[in-house]
Structure 1
Amino acid sequence: MFELKWLWKYMGKKRHLFIIGLILSALTSAMQVINPMLSQKLIDEVITPRKTDLLLPILGAMLVVQVVRLGLRYVMIICLEHNSQQMLDDVRKRMYRVIEEQDYRFYGRIRTGDLMTRITSDLDLVRHFCAWISYNIVDSVVLFSVTIAYLCTVNVPLTLCMAAITPFIAVITYFFSKKIRPMFVELRAKLSNLNTVAQENIAGNRVVKAFAREPEEEEKFRRCNEEFRKKNLEATYVGVKFTPLIELLSQSLTVTSLLVGGIFMMNGSLTAGGLMAFSSLTWALANPLRNLGMLINDVERFFASCRMVIEIFYAQPSIVDHKLATEPKERVKGDVEFKNVSFRIGGTTLLDHVSFHIPAGSTLGIMGTTGSGKTTLVNLIDRIYDVSEGEVLLDGKNVQDYTLHSLRSAVGMATQEVFLYSETVLKNVCYGNPNLSQEEAVKYMKMAAADEFSAKLPDGYETLIGERGVGLSGGQRQRLALARAIAMRPSVLILDDTTSALDTETEKYIQEQLRHLDFPCTKIIVAQKISSVMNADCILVLDRGRIIEKGTHEQLLKHRGYYSSIWALQNGMEQEAVHLGA
């Protein structure tokens, strides 16, 4: 059982508490036989012969046994809870770290809702196994075994008669287990689908409202919820079918002890105390068997969930630090060069033999049609993706020779699709540089034209903003994202269509500020508007993953290609643009 080996390995520093808990579980289960033994002695040696000298000692011993057992039981539960909560904490932190390290392939394969299910409910079922299922299994096995052993000392034939019933319960339990296992795998998949639908609709609620799709999304959720309900009921019905059989066989133990035990008592082969011992311990044989169905149910849930947790736990990102990767000894200058770079995903070529050079401190503009590879190109610089062919150099050194942390610390990025955390304005700006003082943060917010509207918020810079910047306009979110990128003081600043939601005046102000940053920085501006890139030292025009034009604004206008056609369109010269495009 790989799942059990994995669980044992990653119980962590409190594994000894789990061992202590199971030992106490076995001990306290065995102690449940002591009082019936003393009851037998009480009847056979005190009540029947009417000798009262042992009455108080036996009653006192029974009381002490019960108190000690309850005390040990309390310690057992505390040990198992401490162990399971520590395991939960350690594994969840490891899973979260693994998720954070994954690349685009991982997130393309596993949906967000499924990830949330694995890191919450699946992992909690694993904890439930450690804290509850494990000791119940030990309880059942030890209690049944010790009871059989003790009853054999009282009357072997009667014990064998009662034990003969147990194989039938074992057979029924086996078939129940075989039937229920695939159901829990399907049930878990239905839960994952349900969580995914809920997560996507919560995250995309503005899109839902914009297209008035509330009824359709409610219907989608209703269908997923109904499928989950039906699958739950299906699993429950299977349990209900098997439970009466197990219950009937368990109850037959009581009938057997009274019927056969009464016959043995009448013929003198069993004492009254012995019959009482059998009667009082019938539950000790019946309960473990009766609990088998429930325990198998829980164990199957554990295995189904544990496999999902392990899949994430051992997931390996494809983009990692190379063995010889190093931290730069001084600040990266920002000299960027692409040498014959190609990038493919699943057989589709997104970049095809791209080569160019950006001297440190200069500005590069990138334009092109939608899907031409602009965003893919800039994502190769900080290794969001890795090249399929060629190499990307930073200060003359392959980006793969830098540690990921040092590389991404040297590259600041602001994108058109802005994500802001449910934190204060100030904390969002300082996200990439937590040690930044408020004065410095405000300075960079001014550079990004984000200080004025931020200061007017209800609590100023300490105002909490919602997930994804809810409560702010698109332009305000873009300006905060730009301020966050600048606040890193990066050696390479990438602006991926960052000013698309800004008015012309604000965009000109930001461009002026970017030309006068108080730290050395190479700037790469991806844009659709000519005004965003026209002052760049060099402009690349991409089409289908290839560079089709390259030069300054003036050079590209003279070239009279794609760039000049877009310039004509954006400056109200439609006829010329059509002519040039032809």
Structure 2
Amino acid sequence: MRKQFAWLWKNMDAPFRRRHVIALCVCAFTCLLLLVNPALSQRLIDDVIVAGNPKPLLSILAVMLVVKLGREGLRYMMVIFLEKDSQNVVFNLRRRLFSKMQYNDMAFFDTHRTGDLMTRMSADLDWCRHFLSYIDYRIIDAVCTFLFATIYLLLVNWKLTLLLIIITPILLLITKFFSRHVRPRFVFMREKLSEMNTAAQENIAGNRVVKAFAREEYEKERFEQKNQAFMDSHLRINKLWLTFFPIIELLVNAIQLVTVFVGGLFIIRGELTPGELAIFTGLSWAVSNPMRELGNLINDLQRFSTSAAKVMELYYGTPSIVDAPDAVAHERMQGKIEFDHVSFRFDTKPILTDVSFSVQPGQTVAVMGPTGSGKTTLIHLLARFYDVSEGAIQVDDCDVKQWKLSELRGGIGTATQDVFLFSDTVEGNIAFGDQSLTQEDVMDFARRADAAEFAEKLPEGYDTIIGERGVGLSGGQRQRIALARAMAVRPGILIMDDTTSAVDSETEQYIQDQLRHLPYECTKFIIAQRISSMRDADLILVLQDGKITERGTHSELLAKRGYYWQTYCLQYGIPMDEEQSTASGSNSAVGAPAAGMGV
């Protein structure tokens, strides 16, 4: 618990730290003020009522009223300070956690569910705020109230006070036993909350898929299971608390019974005045109430501890892929690429094995192969989303590990088949990678990606909010905006991962022509299954089971009669059992139409 408090304290700005200390001191002082009115009540009973002297009555009542109002005013100020301090900490934490996530590597997001991360950024952070705004002052309030009241009662009558506090060790033992058993249940409940949030997030993100397959009832039942599991875990904690609660209440009420019964006997024996008994009856709650609250405070502390541990794991986590201490600064990326015997394993599973090839600046390399052959992994390694297991990747004759990540990734423009568009305008999405683009630049790159025509027809043109993930646009329209976004950063390497899979052949031909006449020089890295998308590439690679099985130009690969030739025959409707010479196959390939069906 000490580590977690020190961590929160570190994330509180200096002015708020001072105010937090003042607020907690005010809390302790207001606990001390609680003793004033019971002391005045003694005078009211002994000096006014019993003695029959009404003169001090008004002055005693006035002082009691001033003390009461002053105490409430101080506590109001204390609550305001604590709330502002806690909000400052949560603001700083949320900002730093979001920044942390921005720079975490792909492996982090592979192992953490979106719903779990959202829970850490919301519910778990809120418990950190709750600790600073409520739990810490309630602990000080309970401890100070108990100590001040006990010391004062000892001064009034030590015998009766000892009888009242003799129950304290029993309550502490019960509390310790409860605390030991409740923590694992809070950890379990936190996991169930994360699972429930993950299920809700996935359902919202995939609502179109759910509706397309009419799986609303199934999703409803799946969420119901997660919701039920979370509720059951919560009820198990409450059930544990309710097991101890009657015992605690019985012991707390025993304090009040002892006060009245034994106090009455002391008055009869002349060891206590009626006014002093009023002090005990007025402050017996100050001894018993902290005991009553102990269970709730432990509940809150355990829940805070569980949540803070999750947030701290994210806060102190460090990405494995960072800038090397001796990283080399580069100006504009030229686009020379070299894979030197590259192998990559993901959780011991081999994805790529001994991949080697090189591309000169301005050339076009195309990669094709069956699903799961490692095509997309190539571009992930090139952009250093992951580090290679063996071998090396060089860009402009410099190992990617020696590049600054911002310069390496800033020099690569990527457009993928699985397009993610932000809930922003068309212009905002195209200019996402370069906020300095002018309106004319945005329109020019939209034209090159064949996105200008439909963008201009939108209700507000380029200022139209296209919605989360590009809702309202077709797959081909989203791909064209993504391609315009990739081209707009004027990269040294332009990566197109099945970028034109959702567009028609005429649009594809137009885009390919525009790519040949970009206003800057760049190396093009094309991943596709359409022959028409890669036939003009300077180098075509065929990946199968993570290995390069074929390489060469379009004509050279047709002559080899391998995977590329088979794909070509399937797309252009050429029977593969026909006997064709290598030459005729190459000649027919050159003369074949550019259009083709995707596989």
TM-score (norm 2): 0.94
Equivalent position of 2:521 in the other structure: 520
Equivalent position of 2:590 in the other structure: none
Q: Give 1:489's aligned amino acid.
A: R
CA distance in 1 between partners of 2:321 and 2:115 (Å): 23
SS state at 2:548 partner: strand
Question: Per-residue displacement from partner, 1:269-303 (whole Å, max 9, x unpaired)?
Answer: 11111011111111111211111111111111111
Shift of residue 59, structure 1, vs aligned partner: 2.7
Segment of structure 1 superposing worse, 173-182 or 217-226: 173-182
| In the alignment, structure 1 residue 480 sits paired with structure 2 residue 464 | no
Question: Per-residue displacement from partner, 1:380-435 (whole Å, max 9, x unpaired)?
Answer: 11111111112111111111111111111101100010011111111111111112
Q: Give 1:348's aligned amino acid.
A: K
| In the alignment, structure 1 residue 184 sits paired with structure 2 residue 186 | yes
Equivalent position of 2:403 in the other structure: 402
CA distance in 2 between partners of 1:101 and 1:119 (Å): 16
Segment of structure 1 superposing worse, 571-580 or 526-535: 571-580
Q: Give 1:204's aligned amino acid.
A: G
Equivalent position of 1:334 in the other structure: 335
Equivalent position of 2:141 in the other structure: 139
SS state at 1:517 partner: coil
Equivalent position of 1:210 in the other structure: 212
| In the alignment, structure 1 residue 352 sits paired with structure 2 residue 353 | yes
Equivalent position of 1:438 in the other structure: 439
**Aligned residues of 2:566 and 2:576 also touching (Cα < 8 A):** no
Equivalent position of 2:291 in the other structure: 289
Question: Per-residue displacement from partner, 1:317-340 (whole Å, max 9, x unpaired)?
Answer: 111111111331x21211111122
CA distance in 2 between partners of 1:440 and 1:175 (Å): 68
CA distance in 1 between partners of 2:581 and 2:345 (Å): 32
Equivalent position of 1:366 in the other structure: 367
CA distance in 1 between partners of 2:490 and 2:253 (Å): 76
Q: Give 2:213's aligned amino acid.
A: F
Question: Per-residue displacement from partner, 1:123-148 (whole Å, max 9, x unpaired)?
Answer: 10111011101100100000010000
SS state at 1:575 partner: coil
Equivalent position of 1:424 in the other structure: 425
Question: Per-residue displacement from partner, 1:512-567 (whole Å, max 9, x unpaired)?
Answer: 00111111211111100110011112211112222222222122222322222211
Alignment of 1:457-468 (within 5 A): 457-468=458-469
Equivalent position of 1:15 in the other structure: 17
| In the alignment, structure 1 residue 253 sits paired with structure 2 residue 260 | no
Q: Give 2:414's aligned amino acid.
A: M
Question: Per-residue displacement from partner, 1:428-455 (whole Å, max 9, x unpaired)?
Answer: 1111111211221111011111111111
CA distance in 1 between partners of 2:142 and 2:66 (Å): 23
Equivalent position of 2:169 in the other structure: 167
Equivalent position of 2:537 in the other structure: 536
CA distance in 2 between partners of 1:556 and 1:105 (Å): 36
1:33 to 11, 28, 35: 35
Q: Give 2:117's aligned amino acid.
A: L
CA distance in 2 between partners of 1:382 and 1:501 (Å): 25
Change over 3 Å in CA distance of 1:410–1:190 after alignment to 2: same
Q: Give 1:140's aligned amino acid.
A: A
Equivalent position of 1:471 in the other structure: 472
Change over 3 Å in CA distance of 1:197–1:577 after alignment to 2: farther
Change over 3 Å in CA distance of 1:50–1:452 after alignment to 2: same
**Aligned residues of 2:107 and 2:386 also touching (Cα < 8 A):** no
Q: Give 2:281's aligned amino acid.
A: S
SS state at 1:341 partner: strand
CA distance in 1 between partners of 2:239 and 2:74 (Å): 37
5+ long unaligned stretches in structure 1: none
Equivalent position of 1:571 in the other structure: 572
Shift of residue 504, structure 1, vs aligned partner: 0.2
CA distance in 2 between partners of 1:436 and 1:186 (Å): 50
Shift of residue 171, structure 1, vs aligned partner: 2.1
Equivalent position of 1:549 in the other structure: 550
SS state at 1:119 partner: helix
Q: Give 2:417's aligned amino acid.
A: Q
Equivalent position of 2:280 in the other structure: 278
* Identity fraction in percent: 50
Equivalent position of 1:75 in the other structure: 77
Shift of residue 24, structure 1, vs aligned partner: 1.2
CA distance in 2 between partners of 1:230 and 1:120 (Å): 22
Change over 3 Å in CA distance of 1:4–1:579 after alignment to 2: farther
Shift of residue 170, structure 1, vs aligned partner: 1.8
Shift of residue 152, structure 1, vs aligned partner: 0.8
| In the alignment, structure 1 residue 449 sits paired with structure 2 residue 450 | yes
Question: Per-residue displacement from partner, 1:34-82 (whole Å, max 9, x unpaired)?
Answer: 1111221232334433444433433332222222212211221111111
Q: Give 1:490's aligned amino acid.
A: P
SS state at 1:385 partner: coil
Segment of structure 1 superposing worse, 189-198 or 134-143: 189-198
Shift of residue 359, structure 1, vs aligned partner: 1.0
Equivalent position of 2:99 in the other structure: 97
Equivalent position of 1:496 in the other structure: 497
Shift of residue 175, structure 1, vs aligned partner: 2.2
**Aligned residues of 1:566 and 1:577 also touching (Cα < 8 A):** no
Q: Give 2:314's aligned amino acid.
A: I
Equivalent position of 1:117 in the other structure: 119
SS state at 1:574 partner: coil
TM-score (norm 1): 0.96
Shift of residue 116, structure 1, vs aligned partner: 0.9
Size of the alignment, in residue pairs? 580
Segment of structure 1 superposing worse, 513-522 or 12-21: 12-21
Q: Give 1:205's aligned amino acid.
A: N
CA distance in 2 between partners of 1:58 and 1:299 (Å): 41
CA distance in 2 between partners of 1:363 and 1:402 (Å): 22
Shift of residue 579, structure 1, vs aligned partner: 9.0
SS state at 2:576 partner: helix
Equivalent position of 2:322 in the other structure: 320
**Alignment RMSD, CA only?**
1.8
5+ long unaligned stretches in structure 2: 583-599
Question: Per-residue displacement from partner, 1:209-235 (whole Å, max 9, x unpaired)?
Answer: 222222211111111111112222222
Q: Give 2:303's aligned amino acid.
A: R
**Aligned residues of 1:17 and 1:82 also touching (Cα < 8 A):** no
**Aligned residues of 1:374 and 1:542 also touching (Cα < 8 A):** yes
**Aligned residues of 1:84 and 1:131 also touching (Cα < 8 A):** yes
1:57 to 56, 59, 63: 59
Shift of residue 205, structure 1, vs aligned partner: 1.6
Q: Give 1:464's aligned amino acid.
A: I
Question: Per-residue displacement from partner, 1:7-46 (whole Å, max 9, x unpaired)?
Answer: 3333343222222221111111121111111221232334
Segment of structure 1 superposing worse, 439-448 or 106-115: 106-115
CA distance in 2 between partners of 1:399 and 1:185 (Å): 41
Shift of residue 206, structure 1, vs aligned partner: 1.9
Q: Give 1:79's aligned amino acid.
A: F
**Aligned residues of 1:122 and 1:305 also touching (Cα < 8 A):** yes
Equivalent position of 1:343 in the other structure: 344
Q: Give 2:193's aligned amino acid.
A: L
Q: Which runs of 4+ in 1 moved over 4 A?
A: 576-581
